[in-house]
Chain A
Amino acid sequence: MAERETGGGPGRLLVAVYGIFALAAGARAAVQIATKFDEAPLAYVLSAFAAVVYVLATAALAIGGRASRRVAVAACSVELAGVLAVGTLSLADPAAFPDATVWSGYGRGYGFVPLVLPVAGLVWLWRTARTDRGRVVRPDGDG
């Protein structure tokens, strides 16, 4: 059975949103690090890290295939962990984050899309993976 590509159909939407976030986070991190790194080094390093994760997720989802799928799962997981950890820390200790990152306040500055995106990514990877396995019947049926 042909493997269902993660970059096709509805996956295109996901890749598009990921691409925009890769672009936004990358550009933002580049500007922050180039112009005012000393002001909030932790926040800017995190911005850059977030950008790398978004680029990886975008590429992995777009390319598809077994290896890319693993990379995509890892990237989405790291992203989810990151947005939860940084979101919590930024609310608990605002002094440590004098300037916002994509993940501050659970992605509040970006309409909470950074929080929704990794979940959507993981759900999509899981669903396409089930299709990959073919006719595996789950006891609770399939909608």
Chain B
Amino acid sequence: MSNALSTVVIVVALLAVAFSAVTALRNRPMGWGDLAALGVLEVALIAQAVVGFVKLSGGGGPSETATFVGYLLAALVIPPAGAGWGVLERSRWGPGVIVVAGLAIAVMVVRMRQIWDGTGG
């Protein structure tokens, strides 16, 4: 797992959280900005998954490989799910869901880093 890349993913996720939080606080439904933020986040997550699998196949992965792969793949599903929800819920709660999704991804990436380094619970 690349530390630089995972830091980028966390930063992008938190930026998406901030952007959507502002949208929600302004009482607007999801707009193009929120969607673009989710798109950038998804691209970053795909890059992370690709790099993660390449590193795993090269050996030297974490002891809990299954858990790590689970996180890697589960994270990919979340931004599209958040976007779909934003389309369905045309109120401030659409971007609200994106806030939750971004926070979840940030936490997941931190956990993935711990698993990779073999630290933490």
Contacts and interface: CB of A to CB of B under 8 A. Distances in A.
A12 B67 contact: no
Nearest to A8: B89
For the residues of A in contact with B, the DSSP-based class is helix
B4 interface: no
Interface in B71-113: 71, 74, 77-78, 81-82, 85, 89, 91, 93-94, 96-97, 100-101, 104, 107
B121 interface: yes
A28 interface: yes
Given A12-B89, A31-B67, A34-B66, A20 B97 contact: no
Contacts of B91: 9
A12 B70 contact: no
Contacts of B82: 16
Interface string A89-129: 00000000000100000000101000000000000000000
B66 A12 contact: no
Contacts of A78: none
Contacts of A30: 70
Nearest to B96: A13
A10 interface: yes
Contacts of B64: 31
A31 B66 contact: yes
B94 A12 contact: yes
Interface in B51-68: 64, 66-67
B66 A16 contact: no
Q: Which of A16, A23, A30, A34 has the most CB of B within 10 A?
A: A16
Contacts of B93: 8-13
